[in-house]
Amino acid sequence: MIRALLLAILIGLAWPPDARAQVAADATPLHFESASEERRFHRMVAELRCVMCQNQSLADSNAQIAHDLRREVLELMRQGMDDAAIKSHLVARYGAFVLYRPQVGPATWLLWFGPLLLLGAGGVVIWRVVASRRPDRPLPPDDTETW
């Protein structure tokens, strides 16, 4: 009995991880009322991040929550909400992580300007190292005389 249980656990752990992943149960395609609605929808889901995935947009993700969020975005669009209102609704619900390009603000200054600060600090360090290796006094003239 115990051997059978251990064998079942071992087989479960050895099973490929993607076979255990949650796949969208309802993957029926969305139907759009117009070509402009479809273009707007695809632009919106490309700018929004899947809240479960590691760095995938809603357009790229195949997780169940991404399917649900795509349907929610389409529903909000059909309710007459503009893009900014849809984004602010999703940010209020899921946090700023849902935005692929977070807005510049006090909470995101380090995110936007941190690389520039690091580059500037590296430049200052290099300049100081080079300046410290420069001799402070001029070198004496070369006293080689020809005979």
Query: Cα(first)–Cα(last) distance of the chain, in Å?
Result: 103
- Inter-residue long-range contacts of 42-45, CB under 8 Å, 24+ positions, other chains counted: 44/73, 44/77, 44/83, 44/86, 45/69, 45/70, 45/73
- Across residues 23-42, what is the average pLDDT? 77
Q: Are 48 and 58 in contact (CB under 8 A)?
A: yes
- Across residues 123-133, what is the average pLDDT? 91
- Across residues 2-23, what is the average pLDDT? 62
**What pLDDT sits at residue 6?**
64
**What pLDDT sits at residue 143?**
62
Smallest CA-to-CA distance from 22 within 73, 82, 62 is with 62
CATH class of 20-102: mainly alpha
Name every residue whose Cβ is closer than 8 Å to that of residue 52 and which is 6 or more positions away in sequence. 61, 63, 65, 66
What pTM value is reported for the model?
Answer: 0.56
| Residue bearing the bigger pLDDT, 25 or 110 | 110
Q: Are 73 and 48 in contact (CB under 8 A)?
A: yes
**What pLDDT sits at residue 111?**
74
| Residue 42 pLDDT > 80 | yes
For the stretch 46-63, pLDDT in tens is: 989 888 887 888 888 888
Q: Output the six-digit token pair for 88.
A: 């602010």
